């Protein structure tokens, strides 16, 4: 378990990094996914461009509009940021489920998106929030919307010569709550199935919108609008008392997970229902009644 | 001292990263890497190394053809047994056929491991892929063979019988018949295997460091294979990061090849196993299918027990059939099974070899017996604890002969124990009585909880022997050496406790050496919960020799009768007269008559200083110079430890997750040398047991590929998955050895699958007949049980 030979570059500026990348190679960020792939000789890039020395890429900018995590913002830094949690609580809720603390100290939010693992938490978060990724190459910059970013298992819309410089997670809309629920075999493992939920209430505590995004059920995150069945689930009930089972059933009918050695397809589909109910209920509880 | 829970003396070193494990040694050594078979069963058509030759830093590539006789021959069958009629072992490098994914085919030596792997990757091996035999039942069906000359894939077949079990079952008022399945797991030490060899061309001698559980075993095997006199081979086990059984197998292919190459090349060579290699190139265990027929009376007393076991031993049998023998003979546990018949068939498959892993066949046997107890209880509507109590061997019945032959070829006679008392203790610890209300209360909240119980007896301290050497030097320091190895058990602590107590010296003055053939040449190894029993007693006996000698010499110096002397804090003195005293360091000086005074203290022992009779030789007949002693402990047979575990689990009605809420252990390993270390052993064992019960399995596909050969997909429990463990101790001393101790190393792991199965069954009301159990597994069981009443279990009274 030693990597095959590769060239190693350690650029100090973004420009240098983009020039290196134009010559071909792979970006090395936190290395928590890439290094194991190299050691198992499942990846053999001719060149590694280690961006850890590029100043400014670690910025974590929090504004009223949302949270912008630079390419070197570590999972742990985003998880611990009270400002980020205030503007978009789903980030912290989801990051708690990403691996273990030591891996979160090193792994990056943007790296996780670029890696595009179908069982990873952050792609589902970005997809649910309609965020985007900022990409740069020697020939220019562009912004890729979440809906276009994830193209397959471990595949993103990034071009080989592009560096993802930041990811943007929009702020929570008013009267909205979020929640994250997942089931993993052990603490910190990649999830068998996970669900991120977003519920917006109106002044009367009635569900106005309910959406969920799923990981572990398809090659890329699956986002479902569950407003219809959620609204249906509160008919004839007092405010705040929603029967989420219709939404759960709706979700179950719309996913088609595969099976692997850790869990079969039937079980994963079943979990989609359970986690949908749990995440939506918690998101609704988390929605601030009157204010934001 | 003896019996005190002192902290482990090795911990400051190990916990602060000062340990010296195999890969910390031999910085400048050449590195070896191996080309391993990617197929489960294939004929090697040709090996083309050309593309590898221009890798910069390559030193050598070896295939079977390069190996001289002796080195290239099939590896030894370590434990022959008459029932193992078709034992087969692998060659260090495959000659024509490979029989499991991971079998070594070529060895590469290069300047470093990176380059060695680069070269290994470029070696092309042509294979004709042959059909693979995977899975116990496919092996038994024998439509394909693993070894052409082994009909039916049967390596061994053994029946042991006490009484006429089929007849007893047939005549019993109640009968049950069922099948149980246990999947594969593995020792999985955090440090893999590893070998580092240095050849000294001037001395013609070989020094080998190996991450092994038996340095003396490796030494004998290497001397034999490489044609070296034993005196020219030194084998040292440095700090070893866990063994759990896998490292007692020897010599591994790599363990032969690395020293051989070091001698051939005249260079230091090292190989450190990586995790992927460990999954496919080392050993696994567990893996059985059991068919049980049991007959019992109205009280749940077993009248006849008839068990048929299919055991998967993988592609080769270098360690013989110890695992199924242990399963068969330890299956009865603390019970009197009435008439007992056990038959096992040990089968070849195209998978990694199966050799003992902590518990060594007992977890399977205990799973069988304890599932049987629960099923009897359910059938009769009795309390599960009561059914067990009805079958216990009574305290007054020891020594109790089970009528079987144990793994050491000796009769299976339990020496001591108190099972009824232990049952009371475990019920108390877990809250057995009153649990029915607790379960009902939980149910009213929509929660499912269940309680489970499991009992076992463990034969520990198998022979043939271990030895100890103890020397007190002229500074008063005590040097203890024993030949067996340490893998982190705490030998530096417990052996020092024994020596300090026996000699009457402060423990700070005692150092302990293990696993180094330079220090002690005769030993067996550390496995089978034997180190404390075997070396502990040998060291105690050696200490007693040294003590006797010290008292004799001190008696002369003090002009006192040795019988009136005692040793406290390293000083020999006349009982009741602290002024008539001589420190042990001075006794050590006097014990070695000298011609030369190399320091002040030594003057006392020179020829003009010591008096003595001019007609006696300075070293009297029958004596040896030096204050040292050596002795061996060789037991007639094993001593039997026992224990009972209980757990309360909660299952999620929606997700089918299984959570352990409480876990309790009562354990009897005779007199405890150090209760803290005993608890540590239990905790580690329970952690591995939780792995076996809920997480670990080896997922082979039908072509013999191991699909989860990494820590990403082979799920060992993290600390977060292991429950808090409440422990109670019971001490029934063993009458078989001077210290009255029994082994404690494997205990913790043994009943865990049985206990968790029992508790989940109680929570769910669904039969649990296969382990491990995942949430998905439970989810599928629920679906099946919903339509199949035969899978449902009547709710048991506690
Ligand atoms: C034991 C373990 C458990 C884990 N469990 C989880 C889990 O539960 N959930 C989870 O989501 N993740 C998990 N991970 C993965 C972890 O979160 C990784 O850190 C993350 O997926 C990748 O981030 P990184 O910064 O380490 O990226 P790297 O490993 O450095 O890179 C990963 C890939 O992304 C590319 N890349 C990285 N950054 C950029 C960039 N800025 N621009 C372009 N390409 C880029 C690299 O070229 C590479 O192909 C686990 C990892 C380990 C080791």
**What does the domain layout of chain B look like in residue ranges?**
11-130+187-281, 288-403+410-461+636-791, 466-633
Residue B620: band (very low, low, confident or very high) from pLDDT cuts 50, 70, 90:
confident
| Cβ–Cβ gap B708/A261 under 8 Å | yes
Residue A33's closest chain B neighbor by CA?
A: B712
H helix runs in chain A, sequence order? 14-22, 34-39, 75-80, 82-87, 89-95, 101-106, 109-115, 121-129, 146-149, 227-232, 245-254, 265-286
The answer to whether position A1 is within a domain reads no
State residue A214's pLDDT score. Answer: 98
Q: Is residue A231 part of a domain?
A: yes
Query: Between A2, A188, A274, which is nearest B654 by CB?
Result: A274
Residue nearest to atom 23 of ligand 1 (CA): A111
Question: What is the whole-number distance in angstroms between the Cα of residue A36 and the centre of ligand 1?
Answer: 10
Integer Cα distance of B499 and B504 in angstroms: 8
**Is A123 in the same domain as A180?**
no
Contact criterion met (CB below 8 Å) for B391 and B301: yes
**Boundary residue ending a domain (A119, A142, A170):** A170
Residue A109 CA to ligand 1 center (angstroms) comes to 8
Residue A291 falls within a domain, yes or no? no
Signed CA dihedral, A62, A67, A71, A72: sign only: positive
Measured CA angle at B209 (ends B206, B210), to 5 deg: 125
Judged against a pLDDT cut of 90, whether residue B605 lies above it is answered with no
Q: Which residue of A has its CA nearest to B275?
A: A1
Out of B710, B717, B779, closest to residue A186 by CB: B717
Measure B211 CA to ligand 1 centroid, in angstroms: 33
User: Could you read off the pLDDT of A13-44 as tens digits, one per residue?
Assistant: 999 999 999 999 999 999 999 999 999 999 99
Atom of ligand 1 nearest to the CA of A189: 8
Provide, rounded to the nearest whole percent, the portion of chain A with pLDDT above 70. Answer: 99
Q: CB distance B114–A186 less than 8 Å?
A: no
Q: Is the CB of A45 under 6 A from ligand 1?
A: no
pLDDT of residue B672: 97
Q: Is A266 on the interface with B (CB under 8 A)?
A: yes
Give residue for tokens 């430890």. Answer: B641
Between positions 2 and 61 of A, the ones with CB within 8 A of B are: 2-5, 36, 40-41
One domain for residues A194 and A240: yes
The DSSP output letter for B354 is B
Between B275, B276, B779, which is nearest A270 by CB? Answer: B779
Phi, psi of B417, rounded to the nearest 5 degrees: 160, 170
The residue in chain B having the minimum alpha-carbon distance to the alpha carbon of residue A190 is B712
Report the pLDDT value the prediction gives residue A162, as an integer from 0 to 100: 97
Asked if the peptide bond before residue B251 counts as cis, ω within 30 degrees of 0, the response is yes
Q: Is position A97 within any domain?
A: yes
User: Quick check: is A292 in a domain?
Assistant: no
Residue B657: the pLDDT is: 98
Name which of B323, B2, B24 is nearest B182 in CA terms: B323
For position B723, what pLDDT does the model report?
A: 96
The pLDDT assigned to A292 comes to 45
Instruction: Report CA torsion sign: B587, B591, B595, B596.
Output: negative
Mean residue pLDDT across chain B = 96
Residues of B near A (Cβ–Cβ under 8 Å) read 113-114, 117-118, 121, 274-276, 654-657, 695, 699, 707-708, 710, 712-713, 715, 717-718, 720-721, 774-776, 779-780, 783
What is the average pLDDT across B558-563? 94
| Cβ(A60) – ligand 1 distance below 6 Å | no
Instruction: Compute the distance from residue B651 Cα to the ligand 1 centre, in Å.
Output: 33
Which DSSP string do the residues of B461-526 spell out, in sequence order? --SS-EEEEEEE-TTS-EEEEESS--SSS-HHHHHHHHHHHHHT--GGGEEEEESBTTT------S
Mean pLDDT of B691-695: 97
CB-closest option in A1, A2, A267 to B779: A267
A274 vs B118, B655, B713: nearest CB: B655
Please state the rounded mean pLDDT for residues B381-402. Answer: 97
**Number of CB pairs, chain A paired with chain B, less than 8 A apart:** 62
Q: What is the pLDDT of residues B222-238, one digit of tens each?
A: 999 999 999 999 999 99
- pLDDT score recorded for residue A237: 85
Residue of A184, A270, A275, A277 to mutate for B, most B C-beta atoms under 10 A: A270
| Ligand 1 center–CA A45 separation, angstroms | 16
Question: Do the first three CATH levels of B288-403+410-461+636-791 and B466-633 match, i.e. the same topology?
Answer: yes
Place of tokens 């088609």: A256
Paired tokens of B50: 């050309």
Residue A2 belongs to a domain: no
- The closest residue, in CA terms, to atom 19 on ligand 1 is A107
Is residue A39 in some structural domain? Answer: yes
Distance CA B360, CA B354 (A): 10
* Set of chain A residues whose Cβ sits within 8 Å of the Cβ of B780: 264, 266-267
Q: What mean pLDDT do residues B21-27 have?
A: 97
Pick the more confident residue, A290 or B568.
B568
- Collect all residues of chain B within an 8 Å Cβ-Cβ radius of residue A274: 654-655
Which residue of A6, A74, A107 sits with most ligand 1 atoms within 8 Å of its CB, as the best mutation to test the pocket?
A107
Cβ atoms of B476 and B584 within 8 Å: the answer is: yes
- Look at residue A290 in the predicted model and tell me its pLDDT: 58
How far, in Å, CA of B656 to CA of B660, rounded? 13
Q: CA of B38 to nearest chain A CA: how many angstroms apart?
A: 15
Cβ proximity of B360 and B530 under 8 Å = no
Does the CB of A261 have a partner CB in chain B at under 8 Å?
yes
The share of chain B scoring above pLDDT 90, in percent, equals 93
**A120-129, B55-64, B201-210, B601-610 — which is least confidently predicted?**
B601-610
**What ipTM goes with this model?**
0.95
Based on the domain organization, do A39 and A63 belong to the same domain? Answer: no
Comparing alpha-carbon positions, the chain B residue that sits nearest to A1 is B274
Confidence of residue A5 (pLDDT cuts 50, 70, 90): very high
Q: In terms of domains, do A95 and A186 share one?
A: no
Give yes or no: residues A182 and A116 share one domain: no
Ligand 1 centroid to residue A224 C-alpha, Å:
25
Which of A33, A149, A164 best tests ligand 1's pocket when mutated (most atoms within 8 Å of CB)? A33
Q: Find out whether the beta carbon of A98 lies less than 6 Å from any atom of ligand 1.
A: yes
Assigned domain for A192 exists: yes
Distance A34 CA to ligand 1 centre (A): 7
Does the bond joining B772 to the residue before it have cis omega, within 30 degrees of 0?
yes
Which of A114, A154, A158 to mutate for ligand 1's pocket (most ligand atoms within 8 Å of CB)?
Answer: A114
Say yes or no for a CB contact (<8 Å) between A1 and B275: yes
Q: What is the CATH number of the domain that holds A37?
A: 3.30.43.10
Which structural domain range is residue A36 located in?
7-50
Query: Is B780's CB within 8 Å of A271's CB?
Result: no
Indicate which of B184, B776, B780, B783 best probes the interface with A, i.e. most A CBs within 10 Å of its own CB.
B776
Return the CATH class of domain B288-403+410-461+636-791. alpha beta
- A-chain CB neighbours of B712 within 8 Å are 36
A185 plus A149 within the same structural domain: no
The answer to whether residues B244 and B188 touch, using CB atoms and an 8 Å cutoff, is yes
Chain A: closest CA distance from residue B178 (Å)? 26
pLDDT category of residue B604 using cuts at 50, 70 and 90 = confident
Mean pLDDT of B584-609: 86
Judgement on whether residues A115 and A202 belong to the same structural domain of the protein: no
Q: Which CATH architecture has domain B466-633?
A: 2-Layer Sandwich (3.30)
* Overall average pLDDT of the B767-782 stretch: 97
Contact B774/A185, CB-based, under 8 Å? yes
* End position of a domain, from candidates A153, A170, A187: A170
Q: Domain check: are A180 and A158 in the same one? A: no
Dist. CA A253 → ligand 1 center (Å): 31
Residue A4's pLDDT band (cuts 50, 70, 90): very high
Let me know whether A66 and A116 are in one domain: yes
Question: Atom 3, ligand 1: which residue's CA is nearest?
Answer: A99
Closest residue by Cα to atom 37, ligand 1, is A111
DSSP state of B719: G
pLDDT at B796: 53
CATH code of residue A261? 3.30.390.50
Q: Is A120 near ligand 1, meaning CB less than 6 Å away?
A: yes
The secondary structure of residue B284, as a DSSP letter, is B
Interface contact B776-A263, CB threshold 8 A? yes
Q: What is the mean pLDDT of residues B338-360?
A: 97
DSSP state, residue B221 = H
Question: Once rounded to an integer, what is the mean pLDDT over residues A250-268?
Answer: 97
- Categorize the per-residue pLDDT at B776 as very low, low, confident or very high, splitting at 50, 70 and 90: very high
Q: Which residue's alpha carbon is nearest to atom 11 within ligand 1?
A: A120
pLDDT value at residue B270: 98
How many angstroms separate the CA atoms of B158 and B453, rounded?
A: 30
CA distances from B86 to A107, B43, B83, B139, B148 (A): 52, 21, 9, 15, 11
> How many Å apart are CA B287 and CA B352, to the nearest integer?
12
Query: For residues B629 and B548, what is the distance between their CA atoms, to the nearest angstrom?
Result: 10
Q: Does A271 touch chain B (CB under 8 A)?
A: yes
Write the class of the CATH domain B11-130+187-281. Answer: alpha beta
Give B611's contacts (C-beta < 8 A, 6+ positions apart): none
Q: Do A102 and A77 sit in the same domain of this protein?
A: yes
Alpha carbons A219 and A258: distance in angstroms, whole number: 10
Position in ligand 1 atom list of the atom nearest CA B711: 1
* Domains contained in chain A, number: 3
Q: Note the pLDDT tens digit of each residue in B281-335.
A: 999 999 999 999 999 999 999 999 999 999 999 999 999 999 999 999 999 999 9
Residues comprising chain B, all counted: 798
């Amino acid at each position: 378990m030693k990597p095959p030979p590769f060239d190693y570059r350690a650029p100090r500026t973004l420009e240098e990094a983009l020039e290196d990348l134009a010559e071909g190679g792979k970006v090395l960020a936190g290395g928590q996914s890439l290094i194991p792939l190299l050691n198992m000789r499942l990846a053999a890039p001719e060149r590694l461009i280690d961006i850890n020395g590029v100043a400014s890429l670690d910025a974590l900018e929090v504004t009223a509009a949302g949270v912008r995590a630079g390419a070197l913002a570590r999972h742990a830094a985003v998880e611990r940021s009270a400002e980020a949690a205030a503007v978009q609580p789903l980030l912290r809720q989801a990051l708690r489920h990403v691996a273990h603390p030591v891996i979160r100290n090193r792994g990056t939010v943007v790296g996780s998106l670029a890696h595009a693992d179908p069982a990873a938490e952050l792609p589902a978060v970005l997809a649910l929030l309609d965020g985007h990724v900022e990409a740069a190459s020697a020939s220019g910059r562009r912004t890729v919307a979440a809906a276009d970013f994830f193209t397959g298992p471990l595949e993103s819309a990034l071009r080989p010569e592009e560096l993802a410089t930041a990811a943007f997670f929009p702020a929570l809309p008013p009267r909205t709550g979020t929640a994250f629920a997942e089931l993993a075999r052990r603490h910190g493992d990649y999830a068998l199935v996970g669900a991120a939920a977003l519920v917006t209430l109106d002044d009367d505590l009635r569900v106005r919108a309910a959406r969920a995004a799923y990981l572990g059920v398809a090659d890329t995150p699956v986002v479902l609008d569950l407003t219809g069945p959620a609204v249906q689930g509160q008919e004839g009930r007092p405010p705040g008392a929603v029967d989420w089972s219709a939404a759960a059933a709706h979700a179950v009918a719309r996913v088609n997970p595969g099976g692997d050695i850790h869990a079969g397809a039937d079980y994963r589909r079943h979990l989609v229902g359970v986690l949908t109910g749990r995440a939506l209920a918690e998101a609704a509880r988390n929605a601030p009644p009157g204010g934001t | 001292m003896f019996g005190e829970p002192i902290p482990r003396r090795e911990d400051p070193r190990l916990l602060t990263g000062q340990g010296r494990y195999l890969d910390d040694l031999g910085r400048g050594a050449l590195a070896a890497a191996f080309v391993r078979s990617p197929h489960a069963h294939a004929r090697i058509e040709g090996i083309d190394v050309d593309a590898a030759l221009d890798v910069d830093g390559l030193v050598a590539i070896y295939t079977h053809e390069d190996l001289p006789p002796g080195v290239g021959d099939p590896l030894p069958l370590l434990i022959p047994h008459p029932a193992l009629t078709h034992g087969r072992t692998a060659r260090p490098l495959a000659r024509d056929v490979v029989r499991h994914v991971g079998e070594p085919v070529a060895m590469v030596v290069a300047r470093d491991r990176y380059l060695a792997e680069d070269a290994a990757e470029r070696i092309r091996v042509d294979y004709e892929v042959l059909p693979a035999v995977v899975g116990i039942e496919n092996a038994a069906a024998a439509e394909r063979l693993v070894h052409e000359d082994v009909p039916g894939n049967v390596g061994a077949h053994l029946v042991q019988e006490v009484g006429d079990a089929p007849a007893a079952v047939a005549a019993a008022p109640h009968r049950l018949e069922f099948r149980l399945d246990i999947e594969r797991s593995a020792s999985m030490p955090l440090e893999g295997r590893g070998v580092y060899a240095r050849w000294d061309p001037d001395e013609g001698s070989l020094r080998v460091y190996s991450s092994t559980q038996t340095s003396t075993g490796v030494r004998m095997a290497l001397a034999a294979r490489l044609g070296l006199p034993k005196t020219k081979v030194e084998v040292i086990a440095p700090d070893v990061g866990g063994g759990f059984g896998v490292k007692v197998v020897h010599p591994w292919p790599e363990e032969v090849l690395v020293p051989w190459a070091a001698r051939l090349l005249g260079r230091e060579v090292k190989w450190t196993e990586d995790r992927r290699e460990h999954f496919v190139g080392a050993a696994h265990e567990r893996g059985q299918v059991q068919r049980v027929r049991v007959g019992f009376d109205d009280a749940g007393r077993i009248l006849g027990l008839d068990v048929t076991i299919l055991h998967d031993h993988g592609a080769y049998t270098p360690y013989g059939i110890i695992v199924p023998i242990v399963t068969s003979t330890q299956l009865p546990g603390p019970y009197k099974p009435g008439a007992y018949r056990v038959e096992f068939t040990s089968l070849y498959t195209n998978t990694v070899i199966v050799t003992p892993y902590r518990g060594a066949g007992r977890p399977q046997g205990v799973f069988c017996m304890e599932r049987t107890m629960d099923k009897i209880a359910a059938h009769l509507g009795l309390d599960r604890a009561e059914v067990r109590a009805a079958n216990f061997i009574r305290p007054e019945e020891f020594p109790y002969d089970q009528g079987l032959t144990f793994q050491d070829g000796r009769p299976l006679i339990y020496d001591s124990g108190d099972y009824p008392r232990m049952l009371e203790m475990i019920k108390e610890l877990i809250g057995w009585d009153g649990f029915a209300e607790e379960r009902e209360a939980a149910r009213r909240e929509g929660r499912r909880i269940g309680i489970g119980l499991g009992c076992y007896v463990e034969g520990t301290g198998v022979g043939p022997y271990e030895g100890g050497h103890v020397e007190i030097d002229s500074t008063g320091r005590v040097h203890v050496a024993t030949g067996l190895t340490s893998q982190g058990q705490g030998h530096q602590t417990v052996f020092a406790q024994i020596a300090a107590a026996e000699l009457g010296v402060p423990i700070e003055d005692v150092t302990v050496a293990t696993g180094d053939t330079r220090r002690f040449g005769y030993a067996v190894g550390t496995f089978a919960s034997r180190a404390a029993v075997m070396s502990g007693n040998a060291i105690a006996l050696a200490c007693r020799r040294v003590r006797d000698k010290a008292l004799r010499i001190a008696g002369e110096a003090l002009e006192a009768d040795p019988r009136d002397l005692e040793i406290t804090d390293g000083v020999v003195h006349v009982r009741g007269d602290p002024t008539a005293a001589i420190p042990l360091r001075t006794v050590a000086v006097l014990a070695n008559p000298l011609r030369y005074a190399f320091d002040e203290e030594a003057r006392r022992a020179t020829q003009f200083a010591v008096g003595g009779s001019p007609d006696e030789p300075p070293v009297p007949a029958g004596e040896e110079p030096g204050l040292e002693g050596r002795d061996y402990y060789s037991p007639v047979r094993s001593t039997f430890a026992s224990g009972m575990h209980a757990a309360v689990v909660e299952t999620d009605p929606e997700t089918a997750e299984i959570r352990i809420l409480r876990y309790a252990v009562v354990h009897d390993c005779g007199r405890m040398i150090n209760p803290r270390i005993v608890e540590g052993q239990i905790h580690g064992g329970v952690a591995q047991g939780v792995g076996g019960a809920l997480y670990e399995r080896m997922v082979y596909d039908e072509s013999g590929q191991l699909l989860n050969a990494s820590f990403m997909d082979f799920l060992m429990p993290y600390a977060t998955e292991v429950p808090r463990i409440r422990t109670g101790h019971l001490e029934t001393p063993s009458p078989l050895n001077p210290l009255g101790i029994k082994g404690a190393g494997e205990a913790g792991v043994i009943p865990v699958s049985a206990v968790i199965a029992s508790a989940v069954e109680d929570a769910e009301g669904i039969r649990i007949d296969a382990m491990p159990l995942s949430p998905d597994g439970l989810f599928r069981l629920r679906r099946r049980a919903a339509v199949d009443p035969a899978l449902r279990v009547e709710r048991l009274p506690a």
